[in-house]
Chain A
């Protein structure tokens, strides 16, 4: 088996090497910490939240942060802290599922286009170009206007929008790998296309794909929040962070906390995922994409 020549076989050594490098980059460590923190909130938030996210205490509207309400209350007297805790679950669920969808479909399209080349490559890549030519938020709005806003539709939109980016990255990696010796060797051995694609090429696509996926995830968080803010995403009274910012906007002069808290959560998580993505790149692709 030519597998010993696999760059992927360097994987475990490379990862260990990566961790050592990582310690030199506190931003990356912070990124991982932030992502892990919000992930814990998503998993256990509803258990530790002091209030139910939708509970309205109408006598306690627009209360500033206090011991009773750590991040204050919004215009319905709902606890902002509890809503942010529970809302992180939505972020991971919606942005995460959307990213996974984009990665799966994008990977398949990129593999097929890159490996087979020719007319198939032409068709797939031109379709991708068409999608890339339309501003993503505009495209998202058009789709959601016609499908109607719902959690599932937002996931579908995020997935759909990021398929082109993912498939382009995968395709370029595949084009590079195709000319490598271990692929040539497999061809000479008479292996099937499927075997070469999934056993020889795919493992080598995974590291750059992981980096790409983490980047897409940070974009997806932002897109989901934007759609929520515009009212096209998850519907009220869901504690979607973007929706919370949108709802609190008109009360900003009276209750800054109701807007700043979810906006800060979005910013923190997006930055965290961005740092993490940088770190993944250093760990998994020490010499750049073609390494």
Chain B
């Protein structure tokens, strides 16, 4: 499987020459080999919010993640179905030792950074050592807690030695922060020195970024044509979702990551545009802070759970584009890990009874803190009406998203608030990040020793069936006494010009599609 960049180049050159030789005959028979030659060319214009950070260790927003995927590659590429895909990974293959304590990754040879340096095990070690260094303080430190050391026996072999077995190691190594950086990088904000399909050409903060095709990119399509097909990308930063959609509808841009649900109908109705959808584990958590009144009383949490109509929230806040939740962070995307029970039904009388037992027979008043980003205000407005029927008065407090997640960490403080959670490759991170006693992002301040114990067991359980049983026990606890409402898991949504082809929607976290294989149909 060893393939050098030169080989790809020579192959591409041959095909190009062959194409020229054959002339019009090739065009007349588009299904023959070499038909994909015609995919080359064109600059993709796209619009979205401006990035918040360009340093891979501190990527936070969808834009941050998407830009990093333009200029970088991953040791392990998580594909559209949340599985590791060796064909798009910098590691060609990997294996684990019998005791589960040592993982060996074999690197692809001949991959070059944009500056011409070859990508070797030294760079992989450099990248991951930085991401797990508490001194750097990236969000990934906990994610890589199981790694004891990283060894590089030769330039194309990386060995991860673990302190405990970690069945999720491979998917964790594909986390979106793990863009492999050239080990010579010193200024992480300014040097985007990766090996990815596109090279940053110019960047005007808050305005736009232009990227050009990486002529030495290592990936190729099924016919051996070098990727990417596009000549470049022009990324325009627009701070307003409606402006982004109008730019798409007006033809100023070709592609929109993260289409708001309320625009699906108008975009679908436009003959020049296509909407792409993919079920995902993306969900909105309505947390009930469990360490103080009123939600410290489990009956209040149960009452809220009984009072809401999840289907109505999905249909009206997200146009029905998704599946209803069961008040756990586990969605049907996790297949056998998912506890498949019927939809929780609404029971206002039960909610009133539970509230009365908890001492709120005469009603209860709670402030709901909600970000000003679709569909959160709509969810808040519907929740208010539904809970009103159970005698709960909700005061909605809307705040901009950057205030909600800002320096004061309002989202970790508020009693009752709506937080958006992206789709992880495995469910374990949700537990470790938000639902165990000491979790860094335990926004509901919930501490259930049984969940802690089960989560710790699941983290090291290599047998999938046994692990699934543990996860199902955890979900039963959430449904019985958990601290959150999860009204729905929403589909990820994209909008694109009809002539843009090769878009494969993904169920993964940042919803960034693989733009290296996207092309304009001529």
**Which A residues form the contact surface with B (CB < 8 A)?**
54-56, 58, 61, 75-77, 145, 148-149, 231, 235-237, 247, 249-254
Known: A75-B378, A235-B397, A250-B260. A145 touches B312 (CB 8 A): no
* Residue B414 interfacial (CB < 8 Å): no
Q: Among residues 258 to 277 in chain B, which have CB atoms less than 8 Å away from a CB atom of chain A? A: 260, 262-263, 265-266
Chain B residues touching A, range: 20 to 34
Residues in chain A near residue B263, CB distance under 8 A = 250, 253
A236–B377 CB distance below 8 A: yes
The closest CB in chain A to the CB of B240 belongs to A249
B316–A61 CB distance below 8 A: yes
Known: A58-B316, A145-B403. A250 touches B398 (CB 8 A): no
A76–B265 CB distance below 8 A: no
A231–B400 CB distance below 8 A: yes
| Complex CA–CA separation, A145 to B315 (angstroms) | 32
* Other-chain residue from B312, B382, B396, B403 in contact with A235 (beta carbon distance below 8 A): B396
B399 to chain A, nearest CB (A): 8
* Residue B380 interfacial (CB < 8 Å): yes
The closest CB in chain A to the CB of B377 belongs to A236
Residues in chain A near residue B377, CB distance under 8 A = 231, 236, 247
| Complex CA–CA separation, A174 to B374 (angstroms) | 52
Interface of B is mostly: helix
Closest 9 CB pairs of A and B: A253-B266, A231-B398, A250-B262, A231-B372, A235-B396, A58-B316, A56-B385, A237-B381, A236-B381
Residues in chain A near residue B372, CB distance under 8 A = 231
| Complex CA–CA separation, A145 to B403 (angstroms) | 9
Residues in chain B near residue A54, CB distance under 8 A = 384-385
Residues in chain B near residue A237, CB distance under 8 A = 381, 384-385, 396
B381–A76 CB distance below 8 A: yes
| Complex CA–CA separation, A168 to B263 (angstroms) | 48
B273 to chain A, nearest CB (A): 12
* Residue B241 interfacial (CB < 8 Å): yes
* Residue of A54, A145, A149, A231 with highest tally of chain B CB at under 10 A: A231
| Complex CA–CA separation, A184 to B315 (angstroms) | 74
Residues in chain B near residue A253, CB distance under 8 A = 263, 265-266
Residues in chain A near residue B381, CB distance under 8 A = 56, 76, 236-237
Known: A61-B316, A231-B372, A250-B374. A76 touches B398 (CB 8 A): no
| Complex CA–CA separation, A254 to B380 (angstroms) | 22
28 A-B pairs, CB-CB below 8 angstroms?
Answer: A54-B385, A56-B316, A56-B381, A56-B385, A58-B315, A75-B378, A76-B381, A76-B382, A77-B316, A148-B397, A149-B398, A231-B400, A235-B397, A235-B398, A236-B377, A236-B380, A236-B381, A236-B398, A237-B381, A247-B377, A249-B242, A250-B241, A250-B260, A250-B262, A253-B263, A253-B265, A254-B262, A254-B265
Known: A76-B378, A250-B260. A235 touches B395 (CB 8 A): yes
* Other-chain residue from A56, A75, A77, A149 in contact with B262 (beta carbon distance below 8 A): A75
Known: A235-B395, A236-B380. A250 touches B242 (CB 8 A): yes
Residues in chain A near residue B260, CB distance under 8 A = 250
Residues in chain A near residue B378, CB distance under 8 A = 75-76
